[in-house]
Structure 1
Amino acid sequence: MEKFSKIKELIVLIESDAQKFYKAGNGAAGTRLRKGIQKVRNLAQEIRQEITAKKNSK
C-alpha cells in the first residue's frame, strides 16, 4: 500500500508541470513531467510484480 500512496503523491506533484506544459507550452515542464511519469510507471510495475507474486503464492 505504501507504493500506491507514493504514486498518488507523485501524481499530485507533477500536476502543475502538466498544466504548465499543456496550457503554456513550457518545454522544461514537459521534461519534468516525462521524468515524473516514468517514476509513476516504475512504481506501478513494482506494484504489479508484488500483486502477481502474492496472488501466485496462494
Structure 2
Amino acid sequence: MARFDEVKELVLSLESDFDKFYNKGNQAAGTRVRKGMQDLKTLAQDIRSEVQNKKNDGE
C-alpha cells in the first residue's frame, strides 16, 4: 500500500497548482502541473510493472 500512498501524495501535492492554473490563469502553475502529471505517469508505469512481475512470479 506504500505505492498507493505515493500516488495519493503526488496528486494532493498538485492540487494548489491545478487551482492556480485553471482558476487564476497562472501559466507557471501549468508548467508545474504538466511536470507533476509526467511524474504521475512514470510512477503509474513503475507500479504497473511491479504488479505484473509479482503476478508472474505467483504463477
TM above 0.5 = yes
Aligned-residue sequence identity (percent) comes to: 53
Root-mean-square deviation over aligned CA pairs? 0.9
| Alignment length (residue pairs) | 58
Cα distance in 2 for partners of 1:49, 1:4 equals 14
Structure 2 unmatched ranges of 5 or more: none
Aligned residue for 1:57, secondary structure, equals helix
Task: Kindly state the Cα deviation for residue 10 of structure 1 after the two structures are TM-superposed.
Answer: 0.8
Structure 1 unmatched ranges of 5 or more: none
* TM-score normalized by the length of structure 1: 0.91
- The runs of at least 4 consecutive aligned structure 1 residues that moved more than 3 Å come to none
* TM-score normalized by the length of structure 2: 0.90
Task: Kindly state the Cα deviation for residue 36 of structure 1 after the two structures are TM-superposed.
Answer: 0.8
Of the two structures, which has the highest relative contact order with CA contacts closer than 8 Å and spacing of 6 or more?
1
